[in-house]
Amino acid sequence: MTGLPPALPAGGNDMCPPKLGDIAPDFTARTTQGSLTFSDLRGSWVLLFSHPADFTPVCTSEFIAFARHADAFAEIGCELVGLSIDSLPSHLAWLEAIRSCFGINIPFPVIEDPSMVIARAYGMLDENAESSATIRGVYVVDTDGVIRAINWYPASIGRSIEELLRVVKALQTVDRDGVMTPEGWQPGGDVVLTGPVTQDEVTSAGPAWFFQYKQAKKK
């Protein structure tokens, strides 16, 4: 016993995928923008997302939306990183096809993971699926490399990129102001307070002591 708190698990394998509060599994991989070591992104927020397959309609719609929102993610200090089990040549061909067909440049790196090592570490493979394609996984990682939000969608349903942006902004607000965000919260909207912890606080807060709104702080 050292008396020190236990180190955060660097967690993650296909038997035991990482959970909220775990350190995001580290890796080095080839991407459409060169080699990437995930831990080098510490100091930035990161939205790591997997997609089932290149050259598919739902994934193409998501990539176009990610590209359109890329400046908004950059403004809040959040890096976008895509991943699928497809090869780098496939990723490069798909991004080039998106550019030539739709005039949209994909400005973030897309990781190749043909060995599925990264997908396994993050639990991005669906055991019940007929193929080894990754699910639509999203991992929001904070500036210390801690996983703060996880979201999984099936291959058949495209994600809302606006919603993912909202989640990162909500996490940043929670960290900055020590508050919580209510249902459907939008940046600048009222936040909620963590509940009172003493009888005096309950009494002075009034009958709705368990549900108190507060005006958002001006940035």
Q: Is 59 a catalytic residue?
A: yes
Of 133 and 147, nearer to ligand BEZ (C-beta) is 133
Sign of CA dihedral 103, 104, 107, 112: negative
Least Cα distance to 97 among 34, 32, 36 occurs for 32
Task: Give 153's Cβ-side CA count (13 Å radius).
Answer: 17
> CB of residue 85 vs ligand BEZ: minimum separation in angstroms?
12
Of 54 and 142, nearer to ligand BEZ (C-beta) is 54
CA 213 to each of CA 9, 110, 132, 174, 205: distance values in angstroms, whole numbers, following the listed order: 35, 40, 45, 14, 11
Copy the structure tokens of residue 31. Answer: 């991407």
Show the CA angle centred on residue 170, arms to residues 168 and 176, nearest 5°.
105
> CB of residue 20 vs ligand BEZ: minimum separation in angstroms?
26
Per CB under 6 A, residues contacting ligand BEZ are 52-53, 56-59, 133, 155
Of 156 and 198, nearer to ligand BEZ (C-beta) is 156
> CB of residue 84 vs ligand BEZ: minimum separation in angstroms?
10
Residue 32 β-bridge partners: 34
> CB of residue 155 vs ligand BEZ: minimum separation in angstroms?
4
Of 23 and 155, nearer to ligand BEZ (C-beta) is 155
Q: Would you name the residues annotated as active-site residues?
A: 59
